[in-house]
Amino acid sequence: MKKEKICPVCLKVFVPTGHNQKICSKECAEIRHREWAKMNRRASKYRSKDLDNVLKEIAEYNERTNQHISYGQYMGLIYSKAGVEK
Ligand SMILES: [Zn+2]
């Protein structure tokens, strides 16, 4: 028996035809792809940096603000800032 899944784009229930299918249709996959591209463009400024530089930045940020945030938390911070930027 095939398992039903919920499409994250249109929230419809569908039965995947392949075991890796997560999106109900080509149309929804395209929509999701566009959303990703939009997000990536916003964050590309930060993404293009080398990981080493980012880690250095985090260390500096932690020192400056007397915090101990992790890489994930720092990226979350940057992404939320990038979302506000125009
Ligand atoms: Zn869908």
- Quote the CA–CA distance of 43 and 81 in Å, as a whole number: 10
Domain extent listing, the chain = 1-42, 49-86
CA 35 to ligand 1 centroid distance, Å = 14
pLDDT digit string (tens) for 15-68?
998 878 899 999 999 999 998 888 877 776 665 667 788 889 899 999 999 999
Assessment of whether the complete model's pTM goes beyond 0.95: no
Tell how far the Cα of 56 is from the centroid of ligand 1, in angstroms: 41
36: left (phi over 0), alpha (psi -120 to 50) or beta: alpha
Please tell me the distance between residue 27's alpha carbon and the centre of ligand 1 in angstroms.
Answer: 7
DSSP state of 16: -
Give the C-alpha separation, 40 to 12, whole Å.
Answer: 26
Pairing relation of β-strands 5-6 and 13-14? Answer: antiparallel
For residue 7, how far is its CA from the centre of ligand 1 (angstroms)? 5
Q: Which residue from 6, 40, 42 is spatially nearest to 24, judged by alpha carbons?
A: 6
Q: How far is the CA of 25 from the centre of ligand 1 (A)?
A: 6
